Amino acid sequence: MQSDDAIPDVVIKRLTIYARALYQLHASGAATVSSSELAAATGSTAAQIRRDFSYFGGFGTQGKGYEVGRLLEEVKRILNLNEQWGMVLIGAGSLGGAVARYNRFAENGFVICRIYDRNPERIGNRLDGVTIEDVATLRETVSREQILIAILTVPASAAQWAANLAISAGVKAFLNYAPASILAPPDVRVHDIDPVAALQSLTYYLSPGRSDEVEPSSRTTA
Partner DNA sequence: ACGTGTGAAGTCTTTCACAGCG
Partner DNA sequence: CGCTGTGAAAGACTTCACACGT
How many residues touch its own copies (CB under 8 A)?
A: 80
Q: Smallest gap, in angstroms, from Cβ of residue 4 to DNA? A: 8
Task: Specify the DSSP element, H or E, that contains 90.
Answer: strand 85-90
Query: Is 17 a binder of DNA (CB under 7 A)?
Result: no
At its nearest, how many Å lie between DNA and the CB of residue 26? 16
- Does residue 80 belong to the site contacting its own copies (CB under 8 A)? yes
Contacts of 24 (CB under 8 A, 6+ apart): 41
Options 31, 54, 102, 136; binder of its own copies; rule CB under 8 A? 102
> Which of these segments, 59-67, 89-97, 148-156, 172-180, binds DNA (CB under 7 A)?
59-67
Binder among 19, 22, 35, 169 for DNA (CB under 7 A): 35
Span from 56-64, 91-99, 163-171, 195-203 in contact with DNA (CB under 7 A): 56-64
The β-bridge partners of 115 are 89, 132
Residue ranges in 147-186 that form contacts with its own copies under rule CB under 8 A? 147-149, 156, 172-175, 179-183, 185-186
Closer to DNA at the Cβ: 76 or 118? 76
Beta strand pairing call for 149-152 and 126-127: unpaired
* Residue 31 touching its own copies (CB under 8 A): no
Report the SS3 class of residue 202: helix
Sign of the C-alpha dihedral, residues 15, 20, 21, 22?
A: positive
Distance CA 178, CA 27 (A): 35
CA distance 49 to 45: 6
The Cα–Cα gap between 94 and 96 comes to: 5
Contacts with DNA, residue ranges (CB under 7 A): 8-11, 34-36, 45-48, 50-51, 53-54, 57-66
